[in-house]
Structure 1
Amino acid sequence: MKGSLKKIFFILTIIIITFISVSSIYYKNKIEEEKDYRVIKVGGDLNFPPFEYIDDNGIYTGFNVDIIRAIALRGGFEVEFYPMKWEEACKKLKNGEIDVIQGMKYTMERSKYYDFSEGYLENSQSIFVMENNYEIDSYETLRGNTVAIQEGDIAINNLKGMENINIVSTKDQEEAFKKLINGEVDAIICNTLTGVNYLDKLKVRNRIKPVDMPLNYTAYSMVVKKGNSKVLGLLNKGLKEIQKNGTYEMVYRKWFGNTNDYPKWYIKNIIKVLLIGSTIFIIIILLFYLWNDMLKDEVKKHTYKLEEANESLKKKNEHIKEEKDFREWILNSIFNGIITINDEGKITFINDMALKILNLEPKEIMHEYIYNTVIKEIFSQEGNINGSGLKEYYIEDKKIYINYNINILNENNQYCNESIISFRDVTEEKLMQETIRTKDKMESLGTLLSGIAHELRNPLTSIKTYAELLPRKYENPRFREMISIDIPKEIERLNNLINDLLEYSRPRRPFKEHINLYDVIDNLLRLINDKIHEEDTKINLNIHKEAYVFIDKNHLKQVLINLILNAIECMDKEEKIIDIYSYIVEGGIMLCISDNGPGIDGKDIGKIYNPFYTTKSYGTGLGLFVSYQLLKENGVNIYIESSENVGTTFKLYFKNVGDGNNI
């Protein structure tokens, strides 16, 4: 018996020791597990009020911070907060440097890297613009504008799918609001509650407004690194407990002023109230049938009001039609031709002046595709109906000039492809310009006559001398050799001079060619040499002898004559100096004609190219007007620099054209 008891006692001792050992190992592992997560590292945005931010006293606070602390208190673990930039927090969680990000919206893309806790707040975003911005009133009207969004915000992915939006990333939402205030962006998209918080913080509630409905309703959750189920379990467990015991409601009230999720006892009371209310509602429904006749009378009254409104709408439609007819009458009364084309390429409107200029009938062109009409032939450039310019066109063998401009219509802030063509007949203006140009050329030609006469005398004197010596020295072989060489040369010289004179006086379109700038100016100065000496003017010529430009030679002569003679006539000093020089600029050559005259008053500079504007008592005011037109036709830009009592410089910019030399 004693032996049996000893065996039983021994077995019980072994069992107890084994149980104690196993228990020790179990609790040791459990303690180690709890120890591993006794301190949890929590990362969050350092400037995302009211959710998480560093206040003016340097304390990290906010709604998410208080929720994490409440969960930690219920779960029996400690937390360490690491405020940082949002993008930095996401990277550190992926790398395992922190355990939790305390607030993040759920997306499919983020779920690849993180595990999300139960949602504890329904979150949304809003569009904020300046109070005086009436162009942006919805999500779609963000097109064509600059929008600021915090780095890493999910709204960036949505905007990237839209066309013509310039996205500006900011380190936080406060920086985005400051860019909006400073006019660097047109709108911002941010968390709705955070945006309202910044309006108060920056004291700009009366300057900034939210537009449209809130965007991107999503659940707001805490996140852990993918696969960290232990910490996620602690978070979900603690979240349920603080929602159950009312702690969550108190935190929510502290930061947002009204409750979001309610405890069960409160929900039960609400259900009781709803049941009572339902009973009362049923009673009201029964009473409804008692005063149904009264409602019928009200319906009749409203029907009468609707009939009145319908009548008013008819009158408004008639008024709109009258306004449309009035607009068409105005368009038909103006002196410009107007044609509108819809996005399908059909002509939707053409006014009377357009029909008159183009010699068309409405039935020939209205509601026709533009590519089947003469409109395409007149106004197209390289097959496209766009741009502006001057068009030469023949209508019934009569040449006319049409000046036109084509614009894309922008209706109701939405982009469309409808076009409007505005044009007018400038044939008379064109002919008048040609007349003025010819008149100015003839005046310039008169100035050249004295120089031409001098040029004619030289070869004629040589020929006369040979003619007088011919009877006496004809037998001299050396004399006969010289006369056979010199007289044809002088005759050729006379012939070239006359040809140049005829070519200069003949009106024609520009004939562009590569010409030597030095030769043209040197020859021109010889022709007006008498005028230069008569006015006792010193000419300093500094043109590279290998400088070539691409222009009509005679047009250039006419321009240079006008500029040089104007410079000579405007100077009233004892020492009159004109500097003519050139230099290389990016893409071409700049030719300068500078004088030391009295200069031009600043208020008159804008008028100098107007026809018939002159400050000289004997001038016609056509010289600079014609010069400007000639340079424009040849693709040459002209600039003026002038200072009173210092002088005036005209600059002619010649572009490189590929052939010839440009030095």
Structure 2
Amino acid sequence: MLSWLPASSSAARNDTQVIVIGGDYDYPPYEFLNDQGEPDGYNVELAHAIADVMGIRVRIELGEWDKMRDALLDGRIDALEGISISPQREQRFSFAPPHAIIHQSIFARKGAPDIDTIEELRGKEVIVQKGGVMDDYLHTHNIGAFIIPVATHSGALRMLASGKGDYALVANVPALYLSKQLGLSNIVQVARPFQAQQYGFAVRKGNEEMLAVFSEGLAILKNTGRQQEIYNRWLGPLEAPGIAWKRWGQGAAIISCVLLLILGGTVIWNRMLRRQVDKRSAELRQHQQQLIQADKLKSLGVLVSGVAHEINNPSALLLLNIPILRDAWQDAEELLEQHYAEHGDYLLAGLPYSRMRDEIPLLLKNMADSAERIKRIVDDLKDFARLDPQQLQPVDINTMVATAIRLADTTLRRSTQAFEVQYEPYLPAIQGSEQRLEQVVINLILNACQALTDRSQAVKVSTRLAEDSQQVQVWIEDQGRGIAAEHLPQLTDPFFTTKREQGGTGLGLSVSSGIVQAHGGSLSFTSTPGQGTQVCLSLPIPTHATEAAA
């Protein structure tokens, strides 16, 4: 197969080479052949998106799952775009960070008894996908079931519906999708979804350079929100089954209380620190501000790391289940309307149905919007508190800025018709994390776009060498509404924002400032209300680079 591996610099990549990515031809909505016989689905779109941001060429080949898995092992393809991660598979494959979570389900014909655990399949005829993760699991754990392997999930469900086998052990979302698509009305789930498994790209063991391409591309898509857009488009309406209304309400209330405690405690604590600082003498003020900020970041990091995971879990359940509740309401609405027409108004949840039929869709929409906002806030908090060290590498500032502009291209085109970029040639490289610095520049560009009030107003990005020749600089300038002078010193404070009514959390510039400080650099802001804002990102040049330039 291909011996080529892409270099870290996009300019060094050989565009004539193609990475061949394999997958299952019948595993919707993740990957499948559409009506035109072409590869389609969440995994396929994600693979092409990674190819776009990494500047590589890929070809998607879909076939029977066990054959595609063997094709990767013997080198006939370069990667799999979606495979569940397990300890057994980690001995033969190397995995990129997961891009989805796959749950398994047990299906049976209507009338079959419910099952609580997978061990209850002992002695039963169980249909599984050949070479799939549950095929591996049943063999590895010696469950004692009589295994009937088939090539595809749809084949497993059809066989079960036709009267063969006792149960089908299949992935939850594809099974729900296929059973509805195929009209298999005589089979049902008989157990809650279980065996949550991480799911993502894989390469042959030892092919770490190829793995790095997918890992880096996926990280860029996650940071820009593009991966979440692709995920929502394909999987939003089909995720795990709903939970009871009372449990949903309790979960939402707990999440809201925790967030209010975090935010309220942080605000109160911040005010107390301000009062203490105001009492200090003027000559010690700057030093005290630095100490307070360091202590605040440390404490907030400990607080956030302790609750972020617990908040994310119920928030994810809300995002997965609200669309199903919405579908349930739509399915039931016809019956409710018929009852209303025949018997007149009646109470639903203690309120007249004539009112609730208008209120419930709005309530569901508000719930979905609020859960998504909770997720965004928690993600921002996790980024703000992240203390993991980044491996420092030489970073070409012009290349990094060009990548950031390309990732923000859609927003730039939508916001202004007067965008300009200028690169100063022959800038020395700095030491840092290119991905994290891209995140800073993207955030600054998006802020500039949001400040514009008219598409005729301009945004300009430029790179240059500082006057002292000890730093390289990235300037982002806009002709937007500007910032009041009294707000400039607070721009990088956690939770400070002038865009609260537009959904701002006040964490974007805090995260960016932390990244820049970790690189030994600085952010400075100048602004004139009504005329625009200028932001300067300064990063130090390594000592050996400045000595060589001299």
Compute the TM-score of the two structures, normalised by the length of structure 1.
Answer: 0.34
Higher relative contact order (CA 8 A, sep 6+): 2
Structure with greater strand share of residues: 1
Compute the TM-score of the two structures, normalised by the length of structure 2.
Answer: 0.41
